[in-house]
């Protein structure tokens, strides 16, 4: 057998040489796009890496925007993923304030909003997700805000410091985290939506626990309603709800979800609640890849395609996509993971519990320290831990295994040793 067929170092050299002169374009300078650019360089790709972002800020982390940055506890510079000189030092052509307007996959050319054109060899769609608007009368009044970008956060932070009565519309993660931060700043807060806090992700039992946490911190919870109108003379003064009730407020923050930014490739690639990809972040079109909030990817471990809106997912999928682009196929097959901080409650969720039939609680939620195991046919699908980081790490080993609920509940048994007992 020839040596070259077995020698990875030699293979790598040949690949890098052949990559020189290639142009890999990444659309979206968020976490997924940044991670991909970083890994392209870490893996030794020597062609051009172009990273286009329509925001004017360099890539940054979004999670602090509803947490410590919103409360002013974290400086603005600490939200950025890298120091400003990182991009130049690694020959990553970061182009900010640049919106890609069109793509022609047959010619492998993209067109910027300003009209200029760029040819590419491979293209990564890391365009993330865009805010869902609330389309009710009065939606365009002043004082109705959304939170997705660092600029949104800075504006909202300034307003919260004036201690307004904030109405938060939407009881998902963003709504709940903003409610917590606004209370911590000292604002009067009403949190309103059709469901209890986080019900769509955590289920009924845990949403009741989170409802009690928020109420305990002084949040006025208004559930079972949708917003039907906003009223005010130029600036929002009152919200009207589906049950006919009203709430007076100085500021509204809308957090009713996001939709994947797929428009650019909608005519070209398969879309179904996001850009469909395989476990290597490949779309059905040669040379086009997708990662992060925009991607609906096949997860071999779960046996389903899923579009996840989590930090960990965006980071790791960006890395997977970069490796696939240079021909290093490593399936993206990690356990889904996300976290949420509200007040002193640090939640960590591992797994996916779409089809769970029961929930077993270990610990006492009222003390703010517990783990919830989501089961289906006695197997553990997911674990959600609050203020139990080590337990959540140990519990990840139990996913997809059958463990008797009595053992899960028994706090005298170390979760990490459950397989041994
Ligand atoms: C306030 C907030 C708090 C969060 N907190 C948590 C948390 O606690 N835990 C957790 O797990 N996850 C959290 N998330 C979710 C997590 O931050 C996202 O899943 C992650 O940022 C997604 O990264 P992404 O790169 O896929 O997309 P994005 O971050 O949305 O980045 C995509 C970028 O692409 C740009 N773009 C889109 N179209 C174009 C175009 N045509 N041309 C050029 N640029 C374009 C967009 O402007 C955007 O900057 C939070 C999100 C928000 C908004």
pLDDT tens for the chain, 421 residues long, are: 333 333 444 444 444 445 778 999 999 999 999 999 999 999 999 999 999 999 999 999 999 999 999 999 999 999 999 999 999 999 999 999 999 999 999 999 999 999 999 999 999 999 999 999 999 999 999 999 999 999 999 999 999 999 999 999 999 999 999 999 999 999 999 999 999 999 999 999 999 999 999 999 999 999 999 999 999 999 999 999 999 999 999 999 999 999 999 999 999 999 999 999 999 999 999 999 999 999 999 999 999 999 999 999 999 999 999 999 999 999 999 999 999 999 999 999 999 998 899 999 999 999 999 999 999 998 999 999 999 999 999 999 999 999 999 999 999 988 888 875 5
In the prediction, which pLDDT does 6 show? Answer: 36
Would you tell me the crossing angle of helices 199-216 and 173-185 to the nearest 10 degrees? Answer: 10
Other beta carbons within 10 angstroms of residue 390's beta carbon come to 11
Nearest to 345 by CA among 330, 366, 325, 362: 366
Question: Judging by beta carbons within 10 Å of its beta carbon (0-12, 13-18, 19+), is residue 107 exposed, middle or buried?
Answer: exposed
Closest C-alpha residue for ligand 1 atom 5: 63
pLDDT of residue 24: 98
pLDDT value at position 76?
Answer: 97
- Residue (of 74, 44, 212, 65) closest to 150 by Cα position: 65
- Determine the distance separating the centroid of ligand 1 and the alpha carbon of 324, expressed in angstroms: 22
| φ, ψ dihedrals at 391, nearest 5° | -65, -35
Beta carbon of 174 within 6 Å of any ligand 1 atom: yes
Does the Cβ of 129 fall within 6 Å of ligand 1?
Answer: yes
Question: Closest Cα to atom 53, ligand 1: which residue?
Answer: 148
- 92 Cα–ligand 1 center, Å: 20
Concatenating the DSSP letter of every residue in 69-122 gives: TTTT-S-GGGGBSS-TTHHHHTTEEEEET--EEEEETTTTEEEETTS-EEE-SE
Distance CA 58, CA 94 (A): 8
Ligand 1 centroid, distance to 148 Cα (angstroms) = 7
Q: Report the pLDDT value the prediction gives residue 35, as an integer from 0 to 100.
A: 98
Tell me if 61 sits within 8 A of 81, measured CB to CB. Answer: yes
Q: Is 320 strand, coil or helix?
A: helix
Global pTM?
0.94
The alpha carbon of 51 and the centre of ligand 1 are apart by a number of angstroms equal to: 15
d(Cα 342, Cα 22) in Å, to the nearest integer? 45
Spatial contact of 210 and 171, defined as CB atoms under 8 Å apart: no
Q: Is 209 near ligand 1, meaning CB less than 6 Å away? A: no
* Residue 51, burial from CB neighbour count under 10 angstroms (0-12, 13-18, 19+): buried
Q: What is the largest CA-CA distance in the chain?
A: 81
Residue 127 Cβ < 6 Å to ligand 1: yes
E strand or H helix at 314: helix 311-325
Tell how far the Cα of 250 is from the centroid of ligand 1, in angstroms: 28
- Find out whether 253 and 157 touch, Cβ atoms under 8 Å: no
Which domains are assigned to the chain? 3-130+259-325 (3.50.50.60), 144-256 (3.50.50.60), 344-420 (3.30.390.30)
Q: What is the pLDDT of residue 13?
A: 42
For the beta carbon of residue 154, count every other beta carbon within 10 angstroms: 13
Tell me if 260 CB under 6 Å of ligand 1. no
Q: Do 308 and 301 meet the contact criterion of CB atoms below 8 Å apart?
A: no
* Structure tokens belonging to residue 311: 């930090």
Looking at ligand 1, which atom is closest to the CA of residue 264?
Answer: 41
């Amino acid at each position: 057998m020839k040596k070259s067929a077995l020698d990875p170092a030699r293979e790598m050299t040949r690949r890098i040489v052949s990559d020189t002169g290639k142009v890999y374009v990444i659309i979206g300078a968020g976490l997924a796009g940044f991670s991909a650019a970083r890994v392209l360089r870490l893996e030794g790709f020597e062609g051009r890496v172009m990273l286009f972002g329509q925001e004017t800020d360099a890539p940054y982390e979004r999670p602090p925007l509803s947490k410590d940055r919103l409360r002013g506890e974290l400086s603005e510079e600490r939200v950025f993923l890298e120091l400003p000189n990182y991009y130049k030092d690694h020959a990553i052509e970061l182009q900010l304030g640049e919106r890609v307007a069109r793509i022609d996959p047959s010619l492998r050319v993209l067109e910027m909003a300003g009209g200029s054109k760029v040819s590419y060899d491979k293209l990564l769609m890391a365009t993330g997700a865009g805010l869902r608007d609330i389309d009710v009368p009065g939606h365009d009044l002043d004082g109705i805000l959304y939170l997705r970008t660092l600029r949104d956060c800075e504006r909202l932070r300034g307003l919260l410091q004036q201690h307004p009565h904030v109405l938060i519309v939407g009881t998902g993660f963003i709504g709940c985290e903003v409610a917590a931060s606004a209370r911590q700043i000292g604002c009067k807060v009403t949190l309103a939506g059709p469901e209890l806090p986080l019900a769509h992700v955590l289920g009924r039992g845990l949403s009741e626990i989170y409802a009690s946490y928020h109420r305990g911190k002084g949040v006025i919870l208004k559930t079972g309603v949708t917003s039907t109108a906003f009223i005010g003379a130029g600036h929002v003064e009152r919200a009207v709800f589906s049950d006919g009730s009203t709430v007076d407020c100085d500021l509204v923050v809308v957090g009713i979800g996001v939709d994947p930014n797929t428009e650019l490739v909608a005519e070209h690639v398969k879309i179904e609640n996001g850009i469909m990809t395989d476990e290597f972040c490949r779309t059905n079109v040669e040379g086009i890849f997708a990662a992060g909030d925009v991607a609906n990817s096949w997860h071999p471990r779960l046996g389903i395609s899923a579009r996840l809106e989590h930090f960990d997912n965006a980071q790791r999928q960006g890395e997977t996509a970069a490796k696939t682009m240079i021909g290093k196929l490593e399936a993206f097959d990690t356990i889904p993971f996300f976290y949420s901080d509200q007040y002193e409650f640090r939640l960590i969720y591992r797994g996916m519990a779409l089809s769970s039939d029961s929930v077993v609680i270990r610990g006492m939620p009222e003390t703010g320290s517990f783990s919830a195991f989501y089961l289906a046919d006695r197997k553990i699908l997911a674990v959600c831990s609050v203020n139990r980081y080590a337990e959540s790490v140990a519990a990840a080993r139990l996913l997809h295994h059958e463990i008797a609920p009595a053992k899960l509940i028994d706090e005298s048994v170390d979760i990490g040793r459950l397989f041994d007992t």
